[in-house]
Amino acid sequence: MELLTRHPHPIPLNTKRLGPISDLAPFSALIISIVLVIFFLVRFYVLEGFLIRRLYGSIYTEMNERNRRGFINHHIAGVTKLIILIVAAYPFISVAFCKGPSFNTPFVEGSVVTLGDILIVVSQMLIGIYIFELIYRVNLSPVAVTHHIGTIFIGQAAIAISLRPLREPDAYVEFVLCTVWGAFDAVFELFPHVAIILYRIFPQWHRFLSRVFLFSCLTTALGTVAETVVTMWLFASTWDRWRLAFKVVTPVLHVAFSAAQIHGSLVFWRMYRRQKRFQREYDAETKYSDVGGEDSVDDQRT
């Protein structure tokens, strides 16, 4: 029995003839090049040039090179993801979950810019974040490297297979699924950037950092669960529109991405536990110092 016959009210995505993603799709190489150049200019002339030192002073200048690069990368990634959320929220929701709007729907009434144009640009911005991090960061875990490389290839492949002469019949739905992955990444991976920045600014605020890292752990874990539910729901609801290769590859890729996100949650859990341990040690030292001070005063009185 076909899945569509089991659902009397099919989801909007399954009823649309999405068509080509955007007239900008063939220019993806140019767009990603512009994104990376902007990242370089912001990093070199703005952040490293003057802004970071003015904002953080000795906190930044006393870091080693590895931590400096990570610190700057989290600023660039965090701000870029915030911009993506603001710009792409309407196009993403309209195409993926609303009836009527498709890739060629104008972004605003009468505009030549379409929803697909916006989604192409923000997808290149998100991919650009990962390319920049792979090139700029001094040290990355194997899990992070695997996640970033996979995201880059899958995101670009979803656009490439929508172009002639490769135009695949299910390429447009695959691109929508990629935007779902990207949306959850931008939402639930935004605060972790803030968490690491706070960790570098307030390294001795153990109680505060333990709460920050616990919140980061919970939000990333929640994001993984929510992403799995939404992605698999869309995947199953559009089952009849997929060819066999995509029916096999898509769940495998999702499992790989979810494993990387779970790894990130575990990292924040370990950081939470470590900050809790530091806080207990600090409280014990403070209590011991207070007791010793009272004994000394009592001795002097006698």
pLDDT score for 283: 84
pLDDT score for 296: 36
Q: What is the pLDDT of residues 254-287, one digit of tens each?
A: 888 888 889 999 999 999 999 999 999 888 888 7
Of the pLDDT bands very low, low, confident and very high (cuts 50, 70, 90), residue 206 is very high
pLDDT score for 11: 66
pLDDT score for 260: 86
DSSP secondary structure letter of residue 302: -
pLDDT score for 199: 96
Question: Of all residues in the chain, what percent carry a pLDDT higher than 90?
Answer: 57
Please name which of 81, 103, 109 lies closest in space to residue 17, comparing C-alpha atoms.
103
Say what the pTM is. Answer: 0.88
DSSP secondary structure letter of residue 43: I
Higher pLDDT residue, 163 or 117?
Answer: 117
Please name which of 116, 129, 49 lies closest in space to residue 83, comparing C-alpha atoms.
129
Q: What is the pLDDT of residues 119-161, one digit of tens each?
A: 999 999 999 999 999 999 988 888 889 889 989 999 998 898 8
Q: What is the pLDDT of residues 2-50, one digit of tens each?
A: 444 444 455 666 666 667 889 999 999 999 999 999 999 999 999 999 9
124 to 67, 136, 151, 219: CA distances (angstroms): 26, 18, 11, 25
Q: What is the pLDDT of residues 134-145, one digit of tens each?
A: 999 988 888 889
Among 10-19, 51-60, 102-111, 283-292, the minimum mean pLDDT is found in 10-19
Q: Tokens representing 7?
A: 């659902």
Which distant-in-sequence residues (6+ apart) come within 8 Å of 25 by Cβ? 116, 120, 159, 162, 163
Please name which of 95, 118, 85, 122 lies closest in space to residue 234, comparing C-alpha atoms.
95
Higher pLDDT residue, 144 or 76?
Answer: 76
**φ and ψ of 22, to 5 deg:** -165, 150
| Most confident residue range from 90-99, 175-184, 188-197 | 188-197
Which distant-in-sequence residues (6+ apart) come within 8 Å of 213 by Cβ? 195, 199, 268, 269, 271, 272, 275
Of the pLDDT bands very low, low, confident and very high (cuts 50, 70, 90), residue 291 is low
Residue 172 has pLDDT above 90, yes or no: no
pLDDT score for 9: 52
DSSP secondary structure letter of residue 13: G
Across the chain, mean pLDDT equals 87
Residue 253 has pLDDT above 50, yes or no: yes
CA angle 146, 193, 253 (to 5 degrees): 25
